[in-house]
Structure 1
């Protein structure tokens, strides 16, 4: 899965390389949308190129270039200084981007933590401008995520954040992520700690031999949870990434709504949102190959029925496969399975749901439900 999917037909320019290629090949930027590209060193090109009808979203440029493109009739939304995030970003996040400054200043100094602090402050102020910026940011992230996943077979892995490193459950979730990634699927999770991190870790480990995951799990057990120190929890994850730098790709889709839950560093592509509802709906909607539900609490139960609702109303016989893992958890502790069965009875989704006892059964269950 590339860091950025080409999409030349839709008039969007999101990297300096795309900008240069478009100017060279077409000789015009008329009608294009240039998104979060630093154009301070492209003044000559901007002055010499037609930009009528173009839109520049958060693109830094010199004053004379900005005056010229405005005179052409382009719309210019300038960068907004002082924000810990770019509302016009053209690509999803990377772990290195969100955790920048972790080693120097601890988690509190990272863009991830600073964005959460900004969110909490502006949400309390009920600032309409800030709420608009959050909406623009989340729409930009959704656009970038859609471009990233073009043609991908995505399997969602859901589960609770409480699952600790060093446990059998965490190891099992990691092995599941590795198996799914090795089968050619793109693993997508809620992007947080616990079961979500484990699945992303497994996908990261997929290109390496099996012993790598064993050693990585041992290293991670030094900081089992993200409390009391997110700095220590994230730091040991980056130790793993440094030791094995060529990990496999996967997607994490977390939210600043739950600011106490940091994103995990093993998702190579992170689509982080301010709006949790947008994030949850988007994660499930993009899991086009199936969704696996590991044991969890309220959030995971909500995700089960968020996914069941469109499946219930699916009239073409193509519901998304759903696999719930751990019979005792979903029939006794949180008896979600009986209700899901009742909803599915007599509908096309009935043939697309399964309950399994062990994580090892998941790949076969997904294959069976897809056929």
Structure 2
């Protein structure tokens, strides 16, 4: 399916490229791509005349969230370099000399056409971070090549390969979760390393066995905390300082993942945790901290599976549109569930969920006189959330 609106946009002609930019020349002020962190500053753009290229200029156009297929952009060099490119994907495009390096330096992803399916469609096990990232640069990793392959024009053969792959991952995931009590952690994926929200999510991960959406931000922090759960708080604090040296995967996924792998290499015998990312949001890399990664092509399958496996309940950390969607998807499951199948829903941060985004009043009204009304909770600390999960 071609994406024409929302946070992802597929562009497959030069005319469409020109039309979209001319129609919204100030798009950077309103279009941010995947951002689910209410604390993130708006209007951050890439300026090729500024080092390192991050400036607050709401007049600069943005290609964030664009997936540009097979275009000859040699005559659009000035236009491309005048845009924010962090979070964009160029698949099989042609550029003037030197432009590719400038784009990648500013957080854009450039892939050649990938002719064959990079992944094994009949997998027997879940992925590991080492398998997805490999030993080289990120653009040549299995993860990046698979995303590039998935963005090519679909055929019956590629559609079948994706579905067979996702089915095999579902079977492997069903085996992995059997007999485990799993708590979900959801929250803003734009939360940066080195911030208090990131540290709080990591602390929550230390207090419970977690499954996350497998991406960056709060998800990464929870998987990090869970991985180091057998260690004391000083070890966690040391790991947090290490990853904070590279706060975000933009503009350099390689440096971001290298900081994570440095922590992973430092501590043996990790506590198990799960990440469930998707190549639908492949411009956001999977975080390396889960011991098992169930990566899907189809995002709806991934979202449904994540809700289903969290039999110990789900903790919702502060977030924005994506987290709100997850809250009410989970609420719908609990609203119609048999009482024996209910799982706790725990919202962390009273101010955020009653004032910033007043989800709590609606959730409480929805749960009134239903079996789920005693399973929804609003707390202020991750310690309170962990107690409810453990209990």
Is the CA contact 1:224–1:233 (under 8 Å) kept in the aligned structure 2?
Answer: yes
Range 138-147 or range 239-248, more displaced: 239-248
Q: Is residue 2:269 matched to residue 1:256?
A: no
1:89 aligns with 2:123: yes
More helix by share: 1
Q: From 241, 265, 269, give the equivalent of 1:246.
A: 269
Cα displacement (A) at 1:317: 4.8
Tell me what 2:134 maps to: 100
> With structure 1 as the length reference, what TM-score do the two structures score?
0.73
1:274 alignment partner, SS class = coil
**Between Structure 1 and Structure 2, whose CA radius of gyration is higher?**
1
Offset of residue 360 of structure 1: 1.9
For 2:149, which of 88, 101, 118 is the aligned residue?
A: 118
**Pick aligned residue for 2:310 from 282, 287, 311:** 287
4+ long deviations beyond 4 Å:
none
Alpha-carbon distance between aligned partners in 2 of 1:229 and 1:329, rounded to the nearest angstrom: 31
Residue 351 of structure 1: aligned partner: 374
Cα separation, 2, equivalents of 1:360 and 1:312: 26
Q: Partner of 1:216 in structure 2?
A: 239
CA distance in 2, matches of 1:111, 1:304: 32
Structure 2 regions of 5+ residues with no counterpart?
1-114
TM-score (norm 2): 0.69
Give deviations 1:198-217, integer Å, cap 9, x for gaps.
00000111122322111111
Residue number in structure 2 paired with 1:144: 172
Equivalent in 219, 227, 249 of residue 204 of structure 1: 227
* Structure 1, unpaired ranges of 5+: 1-80, 181-185
Please list the CA deviations of residues 124-177 of structure 1 after superposition, one character each: whole Å capped at 9, or x if unmatched: x23111011101100100100000111000110011111110011111110110
Shift in Å, 1:316: 3.1
Shift of 1:327: 1.0
Alignment of 1:40-59 (within 5 A): none
Q: Secondary structure at the match of 1:89?
A: coil
In 2, distance between residues paired with 1:149 and 1:230?
Answer: 29
- For residue 259 of structure 1, report the CA deviation from its aligned partner: 1.2
> How many residues of Structure 1 are paired with residues of Structure 2 in the alignment?
277
Q: Distance in 2 between matches of 1:264 and 1:367?
A: 25
1:134 corresponds in structure 2 to 162
- Residue 356 (structure 2) pairs with residue 325 (structure 1): no
Structure 2 contact 118–146 (Cα < 8 Å) conserved? yes
